[in-house]
Every structure is written in structure tokens, then in C-alpha cells.
Amino acid sequence: MSDTKSGDDKTLSVTPKKTLTLKRPGLEQGTVRQNFSHGRTKSVVVETKKRKFSLPGDKAEPVAPSVFTPKPAAAAAPSPVVQEAPKAPPPPPERSGMVLNELSRGEMEARRRALEGSKAREVEDRQRAQEESKRRAEEEERRKREREESARRQAEEEARLQTEAESRRRAEEEARRRAPQAAELATVDEEEEVKPRRPGGAGAGAPVRRPATPEVARPAKPTKGEEDRRRGKLTLNTALSDEDARGRSLSSMRRRQEKFKRAMHNEPREKVMREVILPETITIQELAQRMSERAVDVVKFFMKQGQILKPGDVIDADTAELVASEFGHTVRRVAESDIEEGLFNIADRPEDLVSRPPVVTIMGHVDHGKTSLLDAIRNANVVSGEAGGITQHIGAYQIEKNGQKITFIDTPGHAAFTAMRARGAQVTDIAVLVVAADDSVMPQTIESINHAKAAGVPIIVAINKIDKRDADPQKVRTELLRHEVFVESMGGEVLDVDVSATKGTNLDKLLEAILLQAEVLDLKANPDRTAEGAVIEAQLDKGRGPVATVLVQTGTLMPGDIIVAGNEWGRVRALVNDRGEHVPEAPPAMPVEVL
């Protein structure tokens, strides 16, 4: 009874015609019917083998191939025929019935990488072992050298200690040998001192019995190392000796001896007279240091005078001079302005002087047309930038007339700017006094006259606003006589010009009068020296930083120069003229902005 599987009949039936065979495990048989042409058919037995999956590393057992013969169609043999497979036929090389466990490409690649990694680890382990052995050998060599060096140093130390002990023993023997001789000499000296005091007959021949001197018993003689320390000489033996007691230095011994002598003789310390330099203000502590005195003594001096002061209190130069004089010192007074000695007012040689443009300051009462007059001369509008038409700063400008340059300084005329007008009058050569023909002489006009006279500069009167109907230039000239300003038309020496800033009337005559006055003054300066000048104004610009308007009076100022103004100093980064152009240098009488 067998299980028959066919394409068209799937029922179980008993077929005595089937051949009985033994089934191998893992094998399944089936019958496949083949149809050919002309109605021919053929049944074929098909065996299906189940694939056995084996793990990597397991040995595949060889399976003997089985040969099955299909049943012939016309055969009707009643007895089954069983064919035994050959026991060990050699498998054909082309087709084998053995199932092989083939590895995929990924598995082979993984095995290859694992093999390479193991080889690389073996190489690294071998190198690490070699380095470790090399390091152990070097460590062993270093320890060996250290042991040898330690043994050598120990032998040298033992030899040195033995030498020092021997020298110390010889020194002690020498001290013991000399001690009895010194004792005998001391005994003889004492006997000689005692003999004159005793009578000549009584016991003159009897020897004087004295106890043994203590010099031998006590170690009064210092050791050799202490002697060397007191002598100030340090040797290798004394530095490495076993004596831990530290001796005094040579300077300490000298100070001790000097102190002992002063205490014995009660001698006061010699006072040293010094030249004390006194600034404008100084503290008591600093004054005491400059006099080489104690600050306590200076404070006591003030307490005797009825003043309670501390060493940190500040006193003026006069008080410090009195204190220094009381202590017996000489005084030399100095001031902060002394630092400028040798920097300014240096005399120039006449052959080095060359002509320079005049510096003209425009002064006058508020709203008399000073800036408008300068605007007409410069052909530029500088009034529009001022607040309310009032000039708030000193503007410095330079123009050219007939090939000659003229530097103008515009000063404010308001009553709040007296210091600016005074500063402008100090740096000028010629003062142009602007008076309105319709307003006559006003308080700031009188003040400008006084500033010009204090500076000692000549005055040129410019009577402005003559184009107005109520203008009266003659009234202006008459009122100037009351302030000792005598114009030429009134028989004086002061030049006067009638001008109109709005119409541009007689501006050429004003410039010619300025050039004439400058020719009379014969203004000269030396451009080949250190630059000196005056700061007209200074401000802090947000974009450019500190900006100062400087009028160079002598010398030449160039970028990179260091300038000093009072307590402040700085380096010139750039020079800008009144037209906003960068210039490489600033000769005498040229106004520039210094950045």
C-alpha cells in the first residue's frame, strides 16, 4: 500500500501492480505523466529531496546517490524487483547527488574581513609586546644607572665625612696643645701684675697657686665652620657640614659692632644734609622720605606748632619749605610748568627766518556782522551752521590775496565768551575791530579794544553795515575817540575802512590794509624747527575722536609728531585744513584740525 500522487487522481487506492520499495527519509516520490504526439504517454517517477541546512563548520556527510528506474508502461511482472544502490560509487564530477552548503558573497566578505582583522590584531599585539619589552629594558637600564650613581655619591659622602672628621680631630688636638701654653702665659702675666702690689719681703719667693684656667675646659674657641661664617667666606665643606647652627653674616656683625659702639660712647648718628626738591604740593610721608627723616619726627614737629596732622596729609610748598629748613636741609622749589623749560621760546637765528602770513582776529560786539564779513571774504556761508546766527566757537580760516596768504580767526561776540575773545587776541598779529554803523560802540566792542591793547597788537577798524539808511560812520569814529582809538580820518594812526558785508563793498581795501599792516610788522618764522602753536578750540567728535583746531606759530607740524598741550599729550594722526582737505604738513601761521 503506497501513497500515489498524480496529476489527475488524488485518491488513495490499492495498486498491487506498484513496486514496493523502501523510502529513504527526506525523500518524496511522485508520478508525472508525459503526453507525446500520436497519443503516446509515459509515466515518470519523480523524487523530491528535502534540502538539509547545515551550520558553517559542520562537516557534510556524503550521501550515496540513488538510481531509480521508472516503471515501463507495458510491464506486468507480478513480483517486485528491488535494486540496491552501489555501496560507494565515485560521484561523477559533473552532477552530484550530495547537497552542498554554499556561502553567500556577504558571508565570504565577512569572513575575509574577520581574517584580516585578526591578522592586524596579531601584528599590533606583536608590536606592543616588542615596545613593552624595550621599555622594560630601558627602565631596567635607568634603574641600574641610578643605583650606580647613588653608590658613587654615597662613597664620596663617606670619604668627605671621613676627611672632615680627620681635620676636626687634628684641629681639636692643636687646640688642646696650645691651651696649656696660653694658660701658663696668662698665669705669668697675672703674677707680674700682682707682684708690685705686695711688699717686697713677705712671701716674695712663694709661688702663687691659682686654679686651673677655664679656657681648656670650656669650648670657647669656635669651630672652623663658624669661623668661616664669621669671616664671610662660604666653602663647600662648611656648606655641607653637619653643623646646622646658622651663623651671622659679615654685615650683621658690623652693624652689631657699630650699634654697640654708639651705645657705649653715646654718640648721636651723623645728620646728613640734603637738597630737598619741593613741588607745589607734597605729603608729609614723601617729605620725610626726601629729607631722610622719620615721618613720626615730622608729625611731632607739627604737633609742637599746634597742628595735628597725619603722614598722609598734603601740605603746600611754603609749609614744606619751613619744615625742611627747621630740619636743616636746603630747599629747591619746582613747578609743573618747569617741564616746559627748554621746549618753548627758543631763539632762532636770523638767517633761518622766512616771511609768514599774518594772523588776523576779527573782534566786535554781538550781531555786528563779524562772521558775515568773514563769509564775504571767504565766499562761503559759515553763518548757517551756527545756532541762532551766534558764533559758538573760534573758527580759523586762510585765504589768499594777491599771492599772499592771510589767516583769519573768528571770535564770538556774545557776552558769555569773554575767555574765547581773550584767547583769540593772544595768538593774533592784527585785530580787526568790526563796528556796526547803525549801532555804534557797544560793551563787547569796548572789551575787544581792551583785549587788543592787552595783547599789544595793532587794530584795524572795519565800520560795517554802511549800506543801511540809518548808518552813521562818523558817529562811530567819534565814539572810538573816547576809548583812545584814533583813526586816520581823525588824525590818528589806526586804519579804518567802511565796508558792507552784504554788498561786498570795500572788501579789497580791507584786505590791502591788512597786508599793509603786516608788511609794517615784518612777520617772520623759522619753519625748520620743532613746531609750536596754540590750540584755538578742541572738541570730541563722535566719529573722529578728539579734534583740536591748532594755529601753528613757528616750525612745521607733520603727521606722526607728538604734541603736548598742558597735562595732555598725543600723536598727530592727520592734518585737515579749513576746506576739509588732508594736508601733509602745516607751516607757520596755518590753521589746521589735528586728529
Same domain, 327 and 385: no
Q: Residue 8 carries which DSSP code? A: S
Q: Residue 79 carries which DSSP code? A: S
Q: What residues contact residue 479 under an 8 Å CB cut-off, 6+ apart?
A: 440, 441
Q: Residue 38 carries which DSSP code? A: G
Is 130 among the domain residues?
no
Same domain, 502 and 540: no
pLDDT at position 203? 41
Helix or strand run (H / E) with residue 489: none
pLDDT at position 41? 83
Task: Kindly compute the dihedral angle of the four CA atoms of residues 130, 132, 137, 139, in this order, to the nearest 10 degrees.
Answer: 160
Same domain, 366 and 499: yes
Is 475 among the domain residues?
yes
pLDDT at position 118? 92
- At 559, which CATH number? 2.40.30.10
Is 107 among the domain residues?
no
Please say whether the beta carbons of 334 and 278 come within 8 A: yes
Query: Is 12 in a helix, a strand, or coil?
Result: coil
Same domain, 432 and 404: yes
Grid cell digits, residue 229: 661664617
Exposed, middle or buried, 225 (CB in 10 Å: 0-12/13-18/19+)?
buried
Specify the pairing of strand 524-525 against strand 27-35.
Answer: unpaired
Same domain, 373 and 453: yes
Same domain, 366 and 513: yes
Range of 552's domain? 532-594
- Is the four-CA dihedral 240, 242, 244, 247 of positive or negative sign? negative
How many domains does one find in the chain?
Answer: 4
Query: Is 476 in a helix, a strand, or coil?
Result: helix
Specify the pairing of strand 330-333 against strand 275-278.
Answer: parallel
Cα separation, 242 vs 258, in Å, equals 32
pLDDT at position 123? 93
Is 502 among the domain residues?
yes
Amino acid at 541: D
pLDDT at position 148? 93
Cα separation, 324 vs 566, in Å, equals 30
Cα separation, 293 vs 284, in Å, equals 11
DSSP of 367-418? TSSHHHHHHHHHTS--STTSBTTB--S-EEEEEEETTEEEEEEE---STT-H
pLDDT at position 288? 92
Tell which residue, 282, 463, 290, has the closest CA to residue 365.
Answer: 463
Grid cell digits, residue 497: 575802512
Length in residues, the chain: 595
Q: What residues contact residue 429 under an 8 Å CB cut-off, 6+ apart?
A: 358, 359, 360, 457, 518, 521, 523
Last residue of a domain, one of 334, 366, 381: 334
Same domain, 515 and 379: yes
pLDDT at position 139? 93
Q: What is the mean pLDDT of each run of 10 residues along the chain (595 residues)?
A: 49 58 62 78 77 58 49 44 47 49 81 92 93 93 93 92 91 83 60 48 44 46 49 60 62 84 69 84 91 91 90 90 90 73 71 87 84 78 43 66 84 56 71 87 86 85 87 86 84 86 86 89 87 86 87 90 84 88 90 89
Same domain, 516 and 379: yes
Last residue of a domain, one of 500, 522, 544: 522
pLDDT at position 132? 93
Residue with cell 508502461: 73
pLDDT at position 272? 75
Please say whether the beta carbons of 554 and 526 come within 8 A: yes
pLDDT at position 34? 78
Amino acid at 489: S
Last residue of a domain, one of 496, 522, 548: 522
pLDDT at position 537? 82
Same domain, 505 and 555: no
Please say whether the beta carbons of 284 and 311 come within 8 A: yes
Query: Is 524 in a helix, a strand, or coil?
Result: strand
pLDDT at position 76? 41
Q: What residues contact residue 275 under an 8 Å CB cut-off, 6+ apart?
A: 329, 330, 331, 332
Helix axes 224-231, 105-194, angle to 10 degrees: 90
Q: Residue 51 carries which DSSP code? A: P
Query: Is 465 in a helix, a strand, or coil?
Result: coil
Same domain, 454 and 576: no
- At 285, which CATH number? 1.10.10
pLDDT at position 115? 92
Exposed, middle or buried, 453 (CB in 10 Å: 0-12/13-18/19+)?
middle
For residue 207, the tally of other CB atoms under 10 A from its CB is: 8
Same domain, 515 and 415: yes
For the chain, state the CA radius of gyration. Answer: 63
Is 76 among the domain residues?
no
Beta bridge partners of 461: 433, 496
Q: Residue 210 carries which DSSP code? A: -
Is 27 among the domain residues?
yes
Go through 23-39 and write b for each residue having 16 or more CB atoms within 10 A of its CB, e for each that does not.
eeeeeebebeeeeeeee
Same domain, 380 and 516: yes
Is 77 among the domain residues?
no
Is 61 among the domain residues?
no
